[in-house]
Amino acid sequence: EEPTPDGLISYLEALLLGIAPYNDLRKPIEIW
């Protein structure tokens, strides 16, 4: 099964949603 464009877009959106909170948690660590 080849990934569909919609599937890739959803995957990228999931990465963005996963990266966003990760950066928010990382900022205090960098300041710390």
**What CA–CA distances, in Å, run from 15 to 25, 28, 31?**
15, 21, 24
Q: How far apart are CA 26 and CA 20, in angstroms?
A: 10
Average pLDDT, the chain: 66
Which residue has tokens 């950066």? 23
Q: What is the mean pLDDT of the segment spanning 8-28?
A: 67
Confidence grade of residue 15 (pLDDT, cut at 50, 70, 90): confident
CA dihedral 6, 11, 15, 20 (to 10 degrees): 40
Q: Could you tell me which residues come within 8 angstroms of residue 17 by beta carbon, excluding any fewer than 6 positions away?
A: none
Rounded Cα–Cα distance for residues 13 and 18 (Å): 8
Task: Determine what percent of the chain is predicted with pLDDT higher than 90.
Answer: 0
